[in-house]
Amino acid sequence: MKVAIAHYHELALKGHNRDYFEQSLITNIRTALKDLGIRQVQNVHSRIRIELPLESDLDVVRNRLVRVCGIANFSLGRVIPLQLGNPDLEALSSAAVEELQTKSFRTFRVTAKRADKRLAVTSMDIEKAVGAAICEKTGKTVSLKQPDVTVYIELLTKDAFCSAEKVEGPGGMPTGVSGKVACLISGGIDSPVAAYRMVKRGCLAMFVHFSGRPLVSRASEEKVRDLVRTLTQYQYASQLYMIPFGEIQREIVLTAPAPFRVVLYRRMMVRITEELARRNHCWALVTGDSLGQVASQTPQNLCVIEDAAELPILRPLIGMDKREIIDEARRLGTYETSIEPDQDCCKLFVPPHPSTKTRLDDVLRIERTLDIAELVKRGLEKVELTELSFPSSTT
């Protein structure tokens, strides 16, 4: 029987709430694999046991599980039923040899664990017996310190699991256990990574994109839709709000001195996003700000922009440099999309020398000449909603 065993780390520390977190992880695993005919997903001795159909494409299963937040690592392998509470060592050894058939190696190691400590046979007994059988049948040698491949055996209550691989998962918390947040997503490299880091901490991300329409094309919107489609593989259902921002920017340009325009744009985006966040029961806003990276992300400007919000503004990337963010975007699968050229609203009407030490009093004085409530209303009236889901098709 084909089986996957998923391990988690952080959830085991949740005390009386542990069952809720474990059940949330099981639900997310079922969602991630729902179109693959999965038979059973259950919690067995602080492990998630996933029973797979015999015809399962293991590469597809692997690619799905590697994106399930909350999984620290997982293995794909097979199970051997226990007989009177003890493993059939011959059958277990044969299973281990079969698991190794697709591996190229010279040295190996067997690592066994008893999930159920009531079993009479010890982990060391299993390691010795299976290791000896592998040596005899393959002619390979044991290396306990630096093996080319490791055979993992886990003794559960009713069966023994055997695998020759261990795949790292994203870790973190199951998506959805930390509430909902509104993520401003620009189409650049940073904001998708920021959203992912919140998803990994258990948040459900709602996305808000400000495009330059009607002054530019929909290129940035199509790009952002692709980015959100990638991120939806980690949270299974996403809402993407598109807001044409070009006319609002033009009105700010007609009133505001050039050095303050970028900060004024950001404050307006925060106000509109916050209204959408309240309507969708989000508890915070999320941005891709990294301290000092651009003019709007200096300490003074961040403080002035944040003044426009009542909800918390979370900045998961605030202490990361650009290289770190790019590396994570590559791992996430958003980098290649993010670097595609587009006509982003952030590039419209940008002055050559924006203010980097904006004073709140100056901004408030300028905003008194603008009808802020009307501009927010105008942005919300033209919002377009796209809903995406995974693994089913886009809607």
Indicate the residue among 144, 168, 192 that finishes a domain. Answer: 168
User: Is 204 found in the same domain as 153?
Assistant: no
Do 215 and 305 lie in a common domain?
yes
pLDDT of 63: 96
Residues 123 and 162 in one domain: yes
User: Would 143 be classed as within a structural domain?
Assistant: yes
| Average pLDDT of every residue of the chain | 92
pLDDT tens figures, 295-330: 889 999 999 999 999 999 999 999 999 999 999 999
In percent, how much of the chain has pLDDT > 90? Answer: 78
Does residue 62 fall inside a structural domain? yes
Instruction: State the CB neighbour count (10 A cutoff) for residue 297.
Output: 21
Q: How confident is the model at residue 395 (pLDDT cuts 50, 70, 90)?
A: very low
Q: Residues 133, 197: one domain?
A: no
State whether 194 and 227 are in the same domain: yes
Domain edge (last residue) among 168, 188, 206: 168
- Does the pLDDT of residue 55 top 90, yes or no? no
Q: Is the pLDDT of residue 81 over 80?
A: yes
- Is position 227 within any domain? yes
Residues 266 and 325 reside in one and the same domain? yes
pLDDT bin (cut points 50, 70, 90) of residue 344 is low
Using one digit for the tens of pLDDT, what is the confidence trace for 345-392?
A: 566 566 778 889 999 999 999 999 999 999 999 999 999 999 999 987
Does residue 25 sit in the same domain as residue 88?
Answer: yes
One domain for residues 131 and 212? no
Judge whether 174 lies within some domain: no
Q: What predicted TM-score, i.e. pTM, was given to this entire model? A: 0.92
| Whether residue 56 has pLDDT greater than 60 | yes
> pLDDT at residue 254 above 60?
yes
Q: With cut-offs at 50, 70 and 90, classify the pLDDT of residue 158.
A: confident
Pick 276 or 84 by higher pLDDT: 276
SS3 per residue for the chain: CEEEEEECCHHHHCHHHHHHHHHHHHHHHHHHCHHHCCCEEEECCCEEEEECCCCCCHHHHHHHHCCCCCCCEEEEEEEEECECCECCHHHHHHHHHHHHCCCCCCEEEEEEEECCCCCCCCHHHHHHHHHHHHHHHHCCEECCCCCCEEEEEEECCCEEEEECCCEECCCCECCCCCCEEEEECCCCCHHHHHHHHHHHECCEEEEEEEECCCCCCCHHHHHHHHHHHHHHHHHCEEEEEEEECHHHHHHHHHHCCHHHHHHHHHHHHHHHHHHHHHHCCCCEEECCCCCCCCHHHCHHHHHHHHCCCCCCEECCCCCCCHHHHHHHHHHHCCHHHHCCCCCEHHHCCCCCCCCCCCCHHHHHHHHCCCCHHHHHHHHHHCCEEEEEECCCCCC
Quick one: pLDDT band at residue 119, thresholds 50, 70, 90? confident
- 222 and 105 assigned to the same domain: no
pLDDT band (50, 70, 90) for residue 286: very high
Q: Return the pLDDT at 178.
A: 96
**How many domains are there within the chain?**
2
pLDDT at position 157 is 80
How confident is the model at residue 82, as a pLDDT?
Answer: 84
For residues 112 and 251, membership in a common domain is answered with no
Same domain, 87 and 189: no
Same domain assignment for residues 140 and 273: no
- pLDDT at residue 161 is higher than 80: yes
Determine, yes or no, domain membership for 173.
no
Domain of residue 132: give its range: 2-168
CATH number at 250 reads 3.40.50.620
Please indicate, yes or no, if residue 32 is contained in any of the structural domains: yes
pLDDT value at 144 more than 80: yes
Write down which residue in 120, 142, 168 finishes a domain.
168
Whether the predicted pLDDT of 84 surpasses 70:
no
